[in-house]
Amino acid sequence: MEETKKPYTEIKEKYEALEFDLPELVKLDEDFEISKQLDEETQFILRDIRKIIAQKFSAYLQLFELLKNPSSSPVFVYSILKNISDDDKKRIKEVYKELSKYQIQSMKLDTIYTEQLEFEYVKNGYDKWQELKTQILSILNKADLDAEEDKKPIKNGYFG
């Protein structure tokens, strides 16, 4: 069965018809790939956009959960953590806390639909992402650099 995607112009028209002060669709699309994921007819475009934002937050929440609490984590997590600074660990905890708040808010909205609350999540989620993405990128760049320049060799450990 062939999937049909809504043309971007249809999504944009529907989005712009909403009576809320929302971020520009193109900006949401840059950060969350909204148009790529909105492929079904919907009466609840804000809910669908909120779920897309929440999905991205959830992916990063899982990564930061691994960094914050590495028990049973893949080996690459340990190689990142052994070189990460205390300041970076503090930032990881802060980002994790913020992402957790948005995850809980999204779950509440999954329970009972309210267009006003969906709008607030989309607007505030977009704004929060603008703040968090630079912090996340900084942490990931540091982790990437630390993994490449692993200064603490593994001694007498498993190397599979």
Q: Is there a domain that residue 107 lies in?
A: yes
What is the spatial distance between Cα 7 and Cα 36, in angstroms, rounded to a whole number?
A: 10
- Residue 153: strand, helix, or coil: coil
What is the spatial distance between Cα 26 and Cα 34, in angstroms, rounded to a whole number?
A: 9
pLDDT tens digits for range 13-61: 888 899 999 999 999 999 999 888 876 677 888 999 999 999 999 999 9
Q: Is there a domain that residue 87 lies in?
A: yes
Q: Is there a domain that residue 159 lies in?
A: no
pLDDT tens digits for range 120-154: 999 999 999 999 999 999 888 877 665 555 555 54
Strands (E), 23-158: none
Q: Are 122 and 49 in contact (CB under 8 A)?
A: yes
Q: Identify the CA nearest to 4 among candidates 40, 44, 42, 52.
A: 40
pLDDT above 50: residue 87 = yes
Q: Are 82 and 57 in contact (CB under 8 A)?
A: no
Q: What average pLDDT does the segment 82-89 reach?
A: 82
Q: Is there a domain that residue 154 lies in?
A: no
What is the spatial distance between Cα 48 and Cα 122, in angstroms, rounded to a whole number?
A: 10
Residue-number span of the structural domain to which 130 is assigned = 8-148
Q: Is there a domain that residue 59 lies in?
A: yes
What is the spatial distance between Cα 122 and Cα 18, in angstroms, rounded to a whole number?
A: 12
Q: Is there a domain that residue 29 lies in?
A: yes
Q: Which two tokens stand for residue 12?
A: 């944009």
- Residue 2: strand, helix, or coil: coil
Number of domains in the chain: 1
pTM above 0.85, yes or no: no
pLDDT at 128: 97
Q: Is there a domain that residue 153 lies in?
A: no
Q: Are 98 and 109 in contact (CB under 8 A)?
A: no
Q: Is there a domain that residue 155 lies in?
A: no
